[in-house]
Structure 1
C-alpha cells in the first residue's frame, strides 16, 4: 500500500478553498506557485495563507472510477489535417475521369472543431470526469506566428480543461509571452489552472504572481483528486526562452514533494500532468511513492494498437501503459500523440483506500465523413452517395476511430482567425539588405531575380541564410544542415513579411537536433551529393549548412567528394578541421532527418529515436531569426564568403567554379 493511502476526514488548510466551477469543475481548489528556488515550504491559497497539513484519520471511503479525457502537444494545430485512406478493397462505385474505380480518399481527422465535439460527446457518457491538457499548446503553425496564443486559447476554452500543465514551448516568447497566453486562456467563464510545480518564476517575471500553481485539487463523487504539473526542466531552460532568473527544479524531487504535501492534506488520488516525455514518465513512476496516474506530453508519443498502424502511424506501446511505483502500487501512464490528432480516454478504478485496481481505455481519433478524391489531375471532388457509408463503416469498424461532426461554434472561431490570416501574413517582420538568390547547386538557374552567374561559385545565397537561421534559433546545436530543395524562392531586397517566410519555406517540416560524430556528418554530406548526382537525380538534395563548410568535387567517385570539412560551432568562434571522432549537435529538418531526399545517414539516429524534436516548424524558425535581427537593429543580409557552406565547387566535368581551372572556356 502507498504511504498514507488512507482516506482522511476533509480537514484542509485555510489557504485551500472549495469553489464551484463550470462544466463539471466542481470543488476545484488550487495552490499558488513555488515561493523560492528550493521549492515551497507549504502551498499558498488565493489569499496567500500558508497551508497547514491536516491530521490523517482513517475513515471508510468509497470505490470510484475516474474518467480522464486528455490531449497534449497540439502546437497551434487547431485545424483538421488529412490522411490518405486506401479504399481499393471497398468496391466503391465512384470512378475517376479515366473510368477506373478510385483507390484512395483523403480523410480529414483531428483539429479542434472535431475535438470539441468528441470531448463533449464522451463527457456526456462519463462520470467523475477530468479534462486535461499536458502542455505545448502553442508554437508550430501560422496561428501562433500571427496570433501568439489567442487562437489556441479560444479553441481550448471550448473544451474548458480542468487543468493545463506548462510545456517547454509555452516559454518560447519568454515569461511575458506566457503571461499573455494565460491571460487569453482565462479570459472567459472557463478558468483553467496552469500547473507547473517545478517552475520558480524570478521576482520580476510576468508570471510571478497568480499565474501558475504547483497543483490543484478537484472533487468528484465526494473524493478529492490532486493534480500536479511538472515541466521538463533542462529542455525548457536550454531550448526555449524563459526569463534568465526563472528556475526549473528537479522533476522527480518536486513531484514527490507535492505528492507528500497532498497526502498530508488527505488527498489519496494523485494525478501527475507531466510535460516530460514518455520514457521519462516510466522512470519517474518507478521512482515515486504515491502517484496513481501520469498524463504526459513532450515526446508526442502515440500509444495504442494496430488500428493506428493500419492507418500508417506508429504506436510505440499500449494505451494505457501500466507500471508500478516505488512501493509496488499500480500507476497508469498515458499520452495522446500530437497536433490535436486524437484524444485519450483513460478509465481508472480506485478502491476505498485510494489504490488503483484497474486501468483501461484507449485513444479516439475523430474523423469527418466528408471524403475527397482525385477525379483528374488538379480536380478534387467530394465523395457522394452510398460510397460515403462504405468508407465510414470501414473506418469506424475499430473503436478508436469515431465519425464526428465538427462543432459549429469552434469552426466559426477558426473561420474568424482565417479571415485575418491573409492580411496578417503581410506583417513586416524585418528587412533584407540585398537580393538573396536561389539555386539548387552552384551555377544553376533556379532564381527568378538573379543571373546564374550570381550563384555560380558557391551556390544559393538564401539557402545558406536559412541554414544559419535554423542554427541561431537552436542555441544548443553546433551546426545546421538543410537540403536545397526545402528552400523554394529567392528573397528580394526590401521588407520581409510573414508571408515571405511561408512562401520561402512552405512545408510542414519541424526542426530536429541529432548528436552525430564528425564522420557521420561527412557521410551525410556524401549521401546528399550521391542522391543528387548518382542515385536517381534528386533535384533538391544538395546540402547547405551553417557552422559547417567544405569543398565539393563532383568529378570524384561517390563517397569521395567532400573534403576540407571545417566546423565553427554556432558561427561564434573560429573555424577548425572537423574531428571525425567527436560528437556534434546537428539541427536539421525532420524530413531529411528521417533519411528522405537521400540523407540516409541521418536516418540511423533518427529512426532509433535518438534525437530532439523542437516541434518548431521551419518557417517559424526563419521568422524567429528575422525578428531577432530586427530587435537588434540588424537586417537580413548575404553572408560573408567565409560562411558559405560550399567553399569550392568542382562540377562533374572537373571545372572549378572558383578558379576556372578545368573549365571549357
Structure 2
C-alpha cells in the first residue's frame, strides 16, 4: 500500500469540506501545536494555502476565507476558483506542464517527488477531463496517508504557528518575505524535530520582522490640562472640541502599548515651561504625570535649560525619583556639562547620557539624543561651562559607536526642528528613524481637512547619504497628540517600510456657536471621527486625573480670579508676517507685529518706575489673549518664565546695537525668531533685506513723562527696562550682557508676570498697592498705532508688509 490514497477523486469540482478536514484531524497532534485559534474552517484554509501557494496563510487571508467558508457551509467552490485564478497561483504553475505541476504539488505537500503510479493516476485524470489543474491540487492533498500524512500534518502545524505569530506580532508578511516562509515549510518533514525547528525559525522571523512601534510626544511645555478652546472643521463646519491634556496622553499611550509587540515610548523634549504649572511647581507636576507613562527615553530640549542647569537637575530628580521605581534615561549626546556642575556632580555621575539601547529579545534598537545647540545656548540659560556640540557631527559619531557594537536599528531622538531633521537625515549614514521636536510641527495630511495647518506626511521619508530610507516624525505640541510610528526592518537593519498614525486626542462633547451638539448632528460628528484614524475620543486616565487634580486644586484661586478684560483680540506675533498667532490671521499683524507683545512692554515700562523705554524679546510672550475676560492663570501662561524686571543704563548707540543684534540672531545666525524686539517708548522702521548693522532706521525715543518723539542719538543716556533673561545677554542681546557685566544693571526682583498683573490693577484700573483684585476688572486693548515699536516693516525679500484694514489695524 502506498503512502498516498489515489482512490478518492473529487466529485464534479465540488470539494467536500469533510474530506479535507479528515486529513487535518488524523495523525500526530501536530496541528494542536499551533498557537492559533483553530477550527475546521481555519484548518481548511491553511491547507488550501499550502497546496496552492506552498506557504502559510497570511492573517488577513485566513480570517477572510475562514468566514467565507463558514458562510458557504463548507462549500469550497469559491475558494478553489479564486485561488486557481489568482496571480500568485498563475505565476507559480501556469508555465508548468501537467507532469511538472503534479511533481511540484507533491514536493511542497509531502517533501518528495510523486511516485510513478501516483503521477500516472493524476495525469490520466487531467487528460481525461475528470479533474482540472485546480481541483487536482486538492485531490493530491486529500489523498495523503501514512508518512505523507505525517509530513503534511507537521507542515500544517508549522503554517498555523507561523500565521498566528505573525498576527500577534504584526510582523511583515509581504512579497519580500514569502520566500522565507516557503523555505521554512520546505524543511518540515515527518520528524517532529523538524517542526520544532520550524517553530524556532518562525520565532526568529518574528523577532526580525515584527515592527518596532514608536509611541511619542514632544513639546508638551507643562500643558497638563486639556485645551478647551480647540476648533476643528468637520465637513467644513467649525466645531469646538476639547483636545489633549496629559491624562488623555497617558490613556492613549497605554492603549497603543497593548497593541504593540515591540514598543518604544519616547519624549522629544521641552516637557517644561509654558504654563502656570511650571511657574508654580517647577516641573514636579510634569514629572509626576510623565512617570505614569515611564518613558523609555526623554531627550533634552532648549527649554529644559530655562532655569539653568540647577533647575534642570531638580526636574530630572523629580523625573527619576518616582517612588514606584520609574527610571527614564535622559538623552543629549551633544550636551557636555562640566564636572562639578549640577548635571554632572562628579566624574562618575551624570544626569544625562548619550544614548540608550533597547533589547527586544535579540533585536536591539539604539536611541541617541540630540538637542538644538545654537538655540539652547542663545535662547535659554545653560551654564557657560556647559558645552553644546555640533548636532550632525555628534549624531554620526554616536551612530558609528552603536554600529560598532552590532546595533543596526538606530533612532535619533532630537529636539532640532522638523526641517533640520529632514536635512540631518540626508547628511548622515546609518540612521533609520528621527523622532523630533522643537518646531511644534503637525504632520499628517488628514489634518488639513480638519482646518489645521499640517506641514507634511506622517511619517516623512527621506534618504540618507547611502540612499537608504529614513523615517522622520514629530507629534505637534501641548499634550494634544500622540504619535504612533511603525517601522519594519530587514535582516540587515535597513528600513523596509514605515507607517503610522498621529493621534489627536479629543473629548466627547462638541459645540457650534456655543451650543452643544446633540442628536443627528452629534452622530454625524462621531461618524466622521470614527472614519478618521487620526482622531481619537479618549477618556482621561483616572490616576492621571487625580495627580493633575492634586496640583490644580492648589491653583484654583489663581485660575478662577479674573484680572482683566481684553476689549479686542490681542494677537501674538514674532516677526511681522510670520503668522505665529493661533487666534488672528497673519494680515492682522503683518505690518506692525504682535499686539500682546506691545502691551507687555508697556506694562514693563510702567512697573519699572525709572525706565525711559522697555525692550522685550517676542518669544518671551507666549500666547494670544482673546477678547473677553482673562485670569491670573492666563497671565502666567502669557509670561511663564522665571524672569524679573531689570533696569539697564545704556547709550543710544548701545540701544541701536542691541536692536541689530536681536534681529541678526535669527536672520544671520542659529537663534530663535523669538529674539525679535518689541519696545515701549521706542519705535523704528525695519528693513530685513538690508545687511546686518543697517536694518534699523528712523529710530525714535519718547522719554519717560514726555509726549514728544525725538530721534535717538548715539550719545543719549537712556534707562532701559527688560527681562532678566535677555538682560544677561541671552537670545542674541549681547550688548545687554555687556552692560550687565559693566555693572550698569539693577535687578528690581519684580516678577515679570506679577508686573503685568500690577499694571492691569494699578496703572490701568487705578488700584493702590495691597488692594484686592478689582471687581469689575479693568479693560485693556491694543496700544495706539503711534506707539507700536515697528512702524514699518520690509521683509528679507524686500517686500513692504502693509496694514490690512479689513482684518487688522488701520495704522498709516
Q: TM-score, normalised by structure 1?
A: 0.58
The equivalent residue for 1:77 is: 223
The equivalent residue for 2:427 is: 287
Question: How far did residue 274 of structure 1 move?
Answer: 0.7
Aligned pair 1:462/2:603, yes or no?
A: yes
- CA, structure 1 residues 135+470, in 2 after alignment: closer, same or farther (shift >3 Å)? farther
Checking the alignment, whether the CA contact within 8 Å between 1:567 and 1:577 is kept in structure 2 is no
Q: How many residues align?
A: 443
Question: How far did residue 144 of structure 1 move?
Answer: 0.9
The equivalent residue for 1:245 is: 385
- CA, structure 1 residues 304+484, in 2 after alignment: closer, same or farther (shift >3 Å)? closer
The equivalent residue for 1:329 is: 468
Secondary structure in structure 2 of the residue aligned to 1:368: strand
Checking the alignment, whether the CA contact within 8 Å between 2:615 and 2:680 is kept in structure 1 is no
The equivalent residue for 1:365 is: 504
Return the alpha-carbon distance in structure 2 between the equivalents of residues 459 and 399 of structure 1: 41
Q: Deviations over 1:95-153 (max 9, x none)?
A: xxxxxxxx764211111121111111111011100000000011111111111111111
Checking the alignment, whether the CA contact within 8 Å between 2:567 and 2:627 is kept in structure 1 is no
Aligned pair 1:205/2:345, yes or no?
A: no
Checking the alignment, whether the CA contact within 8 Å between 1:302 and 1:314 is kept in structure 2 is yes
Aligned pair 1:414/2:533, yes or no?
A: no
Return the alpha-carbon distance in structure 2 between the equivalents of residues 183 and 352 of structure 1: 39
Return the alpha-carbon distance in structure 2 between the equivalents of residues 482 and 194 of structure 1: 26
- CA, structure 1 residues 369+150, in 2 after alignment: closer, same or farther (shift >3 Å)? same
Aligned pair 1:398/2:532, yes or no?
A: yes
The equivalent residue for 1:446 is: none
Which of 332, 335, 341 aligns to 1:196? It is: 332
Which of 213, 221, 232 aligns to 1:67? It is: 213
Structural RMSD (CA): 4.9
Aligned pair 1:215/2:347, yes or no?
A: no
Which of 335, 350, 353 aligns to 2:489? It is: 350
Return the alpha-carbon distance in structure 1 between the equivalents of residues 231 and 386 of structure 2: 44
Greater relative CO (CA pairs within 8 A, separation 6+): 1
- CA, structure 1 residues 339+217, in 2 after alignment: closer, same or farther (shift >3 Å)? same
Secondary structure in structure 1 of the residue aligned to 2:528: helix
Question: How far did residue 160 of structure 1 move?
Answer: 1.6
Q: Deviations over 1:608-660 (max 9, x none)?
A: xxxx99xxxxxxxxxxxx99631899x9799xxxxx997999xxxxxxxxxxx
Q: TM-score, normalised by structure 2?
A: 0.48
Checking the alignment, whether the CA contact within 8 Å between 1:482 and 1:544 is kept in structure 2 is no
The equivalent residue for 2:141 is: none
Question: How far did residue 62 of structure 1 move?
Answer: 3.0
Mind listing any 5+ residue stretches in structure 1 that lack a counterpart?
1-58, 90-102, 375-379, 428-437, 441-457, 490-497, 522-542, 552-561, 569-573, 579-586, 589-611, 614-625, 639-643, 650-665
Return the alpha-carbon distance in structure 2 between the equivalents of residues 253 and 162 of structure 1: 25
Question: How far did residue 252 of structure 1 move?
Answer: 0.7
The equivalent residue for 1:134 is: 268
The equivalent residue for 1:314 is: 453
Question: How far did residue 159 of structure 1 move?
Answer: 1.7
Checking the alignment, whether the CA contact within 8 Å between 1:287 and 1:326 is kept in structure 2 is yes
- CA, structure 1 residues 461+344, in 2 after alignment: closer, same or farther (shift >3 Å)? closer
Return the alpha-carbon distance in structure 2 between the equivalents of residues 216 and 460 of structure 1: 44
Return the alpha-carbon distance in structure 2 between the equivalents of residues 232 and 163 of structure 1: 17
The equivalent residue for 1:271 is: 411
Return the alpha-carbon distance in structure 2 between the equivalents of residues 223 and 165 of structure 1: 22
Question: How far did residue 186 of structure 1 move?
Answer: 1.1
Q: Deviations over 1:576-623 (max 9, x none)?
A: 579xxxxxxxx99xxxxxxxxxxxxxxxxxxxxxxx99xxxxxxxxxx
Return the alpha-carbon distance in structure 1 between the equivalents of residues 751 and 341 of structure 2: 22
Checking the alignment, whether the CA contact within 8 Å between 2:622 and 2:639 is kept in structure 1 is no
The equivalent residue for 2:250 is: 116
Return the alpha-carbon distance in structure 1 between the equivalents of residues 225 and 453 of structure 2: 22
Checking the alignment, whether the CA contact within 8 Å between 1:345 and 1:362 is kept in structure 2 is yes
Checking the alignment, whether the CA contact within 8 Å between 1:154 and 1:413 is kept in structure 2 is yes
Indicate the structure with greater strand content.
1
Q: Deviations over 1:510-533 (max 9, x none)?
A: x9xxxx999xx9xxxxxxxxxxxx
Checking the alignment, whether the CA contact within 8 Å between 2:232 and 2:452 is kept in structure 1 is no
Return the alpha-carbon distance in structure 2 between the equivalents of residues 417 and 372 of structure 1: 28
Question: How far did residue 267 of structure 1 move?
Answer: 1.0
Secondary structure in structure 2 of the residue aligned to 1:371: strand
Secondary structure in structure 1 of the residue aligned to 2:484: strand
- CA, structure 1 residues 257+389, in 2 after alignment: closer, same or farther (shift >3 Å)? same
Question: How far did residue 204 of structure 1 move?
Answer: 3.1
Checking the alignment, whether the CA contact within 8 Å between 2:601 and 2:614 is kept in structure 1 is no
Mind listing any 5+ residue stretches in structure 2 that lack a counterpart?
1-203, 569-598, 644-657, 664-676, 686-695, 703-709, 715-721, 724-730, 733-744, 760-783, 790-812
Question: How far did residue 507 of structure 1 move?
Answer: 9.7
Question: How far did residue 191 of structure 1 move?
Answer: 1.0
Which of 277, 286, 293 aligns to 1:143? It is: 277
Return the alpha-carbon distance in structure 2 between the equivalents of residues 207 and 480 of structure 1: 25
Secondary structure in structure 2 of the residue aligned to 1:136: coil
